[in-house]
Every structure is written in structure tokens, then in C-alpha cells.
């Protein structure tokens, strides 16, 4: 089999996106953060923006931002006093979330990088056309994969990940032992970009992000967050920055997985 994995997760050579029709992606999210705006203190501050995107995102819900709380039972999320608005597509597969300080687009039905970035750029253009051009502080894109370990053959999980990234999976387990939990967390700086990868095995009912739905079975997760400080996201609405971040996350993804992973989910 011709090798499809990469020798270098931080290279610069062109890398074609391989379509995985059964990819274990449960969420892709792009977010731009910006300085707080006084216009959000007005009644119904985002009405022009909501109207602008209403054809694609007609379903609207107002809620409160969630804040991370660390307690005796672990990490959880609780509502804060800050308002946010969520505009969803008819099938609820796509969501635009806006608050005073952030704008995000997320989906549970990712098709391709080009499709996702174009949708994100349409939302950014709608924001600048209706709400202005605030100074931005951060731009990022995040890919979360989640594999039900019970859905694959026993022992196959280890073959999906390259040997030097297996973490706890590299430890031989005999019949009287079971790997319950093993997480690798790594943050890399590449020029003005950063990419954080978290991957490993979680016990049933456990997630790294409380916003995601946990699996009832043991899960293998791969969460990649590619981001950068960016002050001109709304002033200079072009897709170069978000595309570069997406490509960096994908490059690390391709380095971490094996040919068996690609064939399993292709």
C-alpha cells in the first residue's frame, strides 16, 4: 500500500485533502474573537446580522454563555450572565453563535474544507456588513473526532494510530488488565500559529469538552485546535488565515493516523 501518512507534521509541501466518507468527526468549529462592543448594550443588538443570515440560518435561540467550573466532581459548564444568540440551519446541522466578543460557526455534518471555509466567510462578511469591523483578538478552527471503541474489531484501535503517538495504547495489556484512560495533550507553535492536539482513550460517558455528547462506550478521541492571534479578521475579510489554520490542523491529523485509519473511514 502506498503510504498516505506524513513524515513531517509541520512541513510546507502541498497536501491534498483525502475525503473520508465515514470520518469520525463529531464537530468542526471556527471562531473569531473580538473586542467587546458597546452596541451589544442596545436592545436587540444583532437584529440586522440575524436578518442578513436568515436564509441559511432561520432558527434563532437566545441563551446565556457557559462558563467552565472546576468542582469536586470534575469540570462542568454553567450559564453565565452574558447573552449569546444561536442561529441554526433548518436541519440544525449548522450553527452560528454570536456573543459580545465572539463569532463562531460549527457543524456536525462537515463535507470539505472548501465548503466549511466558504460558509464561515459568508458569516464574517455578514457581520462586517451589519455590525461593523471590530478589532479581533483570535482566530481558530477546531476539529473533534470521536470513535466508539466497541464499533471496531478488538485490537484494531492501536493500528489506526502511528506507533510514536500511541501513548497508553503502546503499553501491552494482558487479560487481567484494561486501559481505561490515556490522554496526550501537546501544544505546538509554528511561526505565528499554534496547534494543540489532544488524543487518547476515554472511559464511557466521558468527554474532554462538556459541550459534546459523551458516548456510552469507551471512546478514542482526537481533538485538534489550530489558532492564532489576529487583529484584522473583520477589517480584512479574506480566507487566507483560516485556510492556513485548517491546513495546519489537517497536516497534524494526517501525521497522527495510519493508512489503516484512512482505509477504515474512507
State the pairing for strand pair 102-107/136-148: unpaired
Give the C-alpha separation, 154 to 147, whole Å.
13
Q: Give per-residue pLDDT as tens, 117-173.
A: 999 999 999 999 999 999 999 999 999 999 988 887 767 788 888 888 888 888 887
DSSP SS3 for 157 = helix
Residues of the chain with pLDDT under 70: 1-5, 66-81, 154
Residues 6+ apart with CB under 8 A from 74: none
User: How remote is the C-alpha of 5 from its chain's centroid?
Assistant: 21
Q: What is the pLDDT of residue 81?
A: 67
Residues 6+ apart with CB under 8 A from 78: 66, 67, 69
Beta bridge partners of 222: 145, 199
Q: What is the pLDDT of residue 82?
A: 79
Q: What is the pLDDT of residue 93?
A: 96
Q: What is the pLDDT of residue 99?
A: 95
Amino acid at each position: 500500500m502506498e503510504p498516505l501518512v506524513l513524515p513531517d507534521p509541520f512541513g510546507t509541501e502541498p497536501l491534498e485533502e483525502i475525503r473520508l466518507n465515514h470520518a469520525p468527526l463529531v464537530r468542526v468549529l471556527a471562531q473569531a474573537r473580538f473586542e467587546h462592543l458597546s452596541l451589544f448594550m442596545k436592545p436587540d443588538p444583532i437584529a440586522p446580522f440575524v436578518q442578513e443570515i436568515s436564509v441559511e440560518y432561520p432558527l434563532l435561540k437566545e441563551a446565556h454563555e457557559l462558563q467552565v467550573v472546576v468542582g469536586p466532581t470534575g469540570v462542568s459548564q454553567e450559564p453565565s450572565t452574558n447573552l449569546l444568540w444561536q442561529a441554526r440551519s433548518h436541519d440544525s446541522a449548522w450553527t452560528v453563535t454570536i456573543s459580545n466578543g465572539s463569532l463562531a460557526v460549527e457543524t456536525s455534518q462537515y463535507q470539505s474544507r472548501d465548503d466549511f471555509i466558504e460558509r464561515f466567510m459568508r458569516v464574517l462578511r455578514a457581520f462586517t456588513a451589519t455590525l461593523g469591523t471590530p478589532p479581533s483578538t483570535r482566530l481558530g478552527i477546531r476539529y473533534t473526532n470521536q470513535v466508539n471503541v466497541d464499533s471496531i474489531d478488538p485490537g484494531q484501535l492501536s493500528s489506526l494510530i502511528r506507533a510514536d503517538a500511541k501513548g497508553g495504547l503502546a503499553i501491552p495489556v494482558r487479560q487481567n488488565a484494561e486501559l481505561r484512560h490515556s490522554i496526550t495533550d501537546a501544544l505546538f507553535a509554528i511561526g505565528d500559529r499554534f496547534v494543540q492536539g489532544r488524543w487518547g482513550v476515554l472511559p464511557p460517558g466521558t468527554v474532554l469538552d462538556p459541550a459534546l455528547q459523551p458516548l456510552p462506550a469507551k471512546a478514542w478521541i482526537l481533538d485538534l485546535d489550530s489558532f492564532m492571534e489576529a487583529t484584522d479578521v473583520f477589517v480584512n475579510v479574506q480566507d487566507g488565515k483560516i485556510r492556513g489554520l485548517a491546513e495546519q490542523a489537517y497536516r497534524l491529523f494526517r501525521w497522527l493516523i495510519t493508512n489503516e485509519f484512512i482505509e477504515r473511514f474512507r
